[in-house]
Amino acid sequence: MQRETAVLYRNVVLGVLVILVSLNTAWFLVSKHSGSLWGFILYLIILFLCWRQNEFRAGIAAGLLGFGVHLYELVNADVEDLIFIDLLFSLLNLVLPILLVYSSYQAYKTSK
């Protein structure tokens, strides 16, 4: 039972990371903001670490970093100046790292 749970959380972590990599790629192509390129690079490295080395602590750290950066941006940005697509991508980049932190923690806990 614990093996199936560990595999489930690992797959959730990998799925969320693939979504975050794709999301930041699309955001960079649409808006040309350099921050989304940094997000793409970060989540791509973390995807590799989780996929090949089962290093789920990196997913926890990246999720906390991603959440913190986007929370800071939304708090300090003038939301009325953001176009809809930037606001949508920013909100998705705020919510998905929370799922990444939770699933990475569960994957780390069950893989020990």
The candidate with the shortest Cα–Cα distance to 18, out of 87, 90, 99, is 99
pTM for the complete prediction? Answer: 0.91
The candidate with the shortest Cα–Cα distance to 49, out of 35, 70, 29, 63, is 63
Q: For residue 3, give the amino acid letter.
A: R
pLDDT for 112 equals 73
Question: In the numeric block, which tokens belong to residue 97?
Answer: 């790292």
- Any idea where the domains of the chain sit in the sequence? 2-103
Question: In the numeric block, which tokens belong to residue 67?
Answer: 């959440």
The pLDDT tens digits of the residues spanning 42-86 come to: 999 999 999 999 999 999 999 999 999 999 988 887 767 778 888
